[in-house]
Amino acid sequence: MLIQAFTVFLILALLYVVFSIRIFREYERGVLFFLGRFYNVTGPGLRFVWLWLFQMVRVDLRTVVLDVPTQDVISRDNVSVKVNAVIYFRVLDAERAIIQVENYHMATSQLAQTTLRSVLGQHELDEMLSEREKLNSDIQEILDKQSDAWGIKVSNVEIKHVDLDESMIRAIAKQAEAERTRRAKIIAAEGELQASEKLTEAARIMSGHSQAMTLRYLQTMLDMSNEGSRTIFFPLPIELLEALKAIGGNKPTG
């Protein structure tokens, strides 16, 4: 009987030791509690966690990619949009991640959702579409600051999609078309202004040189003849027109 009891005891002791063995990977940490009180954080490798005396919680220290569900956001200019994002975070302090918050994955996800709505709601739609990098940085900074008490480090935030309804897409397309039309008119007006300035300068120079004016007339006739036109134009000096006008104005009326 004694031998049998000793054998049973030896088997139970061996099983106790075997089941107390824990192997931690390089990216894992174990938060140990001794009879409910925090004991320490154990590192990677082979560890003994004695059953019934110690309780252990594994913590993964790798970067977690968390997909933030689509959120309904109302911008500062009262435009309703649907926005989703992705955040990258990791546990820096395993003790705080387990003790300070019940579920750090869920807590980080909920915090990301509320922060996303809060930050984007302070900006207009144009800013959401054109200043995405700045918004990513603002959201990341707020999340990192608030999750620091949990031993969490938020390293990056990326807004993936900003979805609009069809009516808003059409309105933006019309606005873009109107903007392109406005720019085209401005460019055309600037071209006309520059051309008129150059023409005015050329006319001023040519008005003081009658030979230049004659050469211009001849060049115009040459260009017209090359186009195959059958109409013949003869240049009439402007001085002759002014003289005829003066004579017509001095003609006596009877």
**Domains of the chain by residue range:** 2-59, 64-164, 166-226
The pLDDT score that the predictor gives to residue 223 is: 65
The pLDDT score that the predictor gives to residue 162 is: 87
Share of the chain above pLDDT 90, in %: 44
CATH code of 64-164, in short, is 3.30.479.30
CB 74 within 8 A of CB 129: no
CB 24 within 8 A of CB 45: yes
pLDDT at 242 exceeding the cut of 90: no
The pLDDT score that the predictor gives to residue 174 is: 74
The pLDDT score that the predictor gives to residue 168 is: 67
CB 151 within 8 A of CB 97: yes
User: Do the bridges between strand 54-60 and strand 45-48 make them parallel or antiparallel, or are there none, so unpaired?
Assistant: unpaired
The pLDDT score that the predictor gives to residue 185 is: 86
The pLDDT score that the predictor gives to residue 182 is: 84
pLDDT at 163 exceeding the cut of 60: yes
The stretch 29-36 carries a mean pLDDT of 93
Whole-number mean pLDDT of the chain? 83
pLDDT digits (tens, 9 = 90+) for 120-146: 999 988 888 889 999 999 999 999 999
The pLDDT score that the predictor gives to residue 254 is: 47
Residue 48 vs residues 12, 18, 24, 30, 44: alpha-carbon distances, Å? 16, 9, 11, 11, 12
**Structure confidence at residue 101 as a pLDDT band (50, 70, 90):** very high
The pLDDT score that the predictor gives to residue 69 is: 92
Share of the chain above pLDDT 70, in %: 77
pLDDT digits (tens, 9 = 90+) for 36-56: 899 999 989 999 888 888 999
Q: Between 187 and 253, whose confidence is greater?
A: 187
pLDDT at 60 exceeding the cut of 60: yes
**Structure confidence at residue 197 as a pLDDT band (50, 70, 90):** confident
The stretch 2-26 carries a mean pLDDT of 87
What letter does residue 123 receive in the DSSP assignment? S
How would you label 237-250 residue by residue, b for 16+ Cβ within 10 Å and e otherwise?
eeeeeeeeeeeeee
The stretch 197-223 carries a mean pLDDT of 67
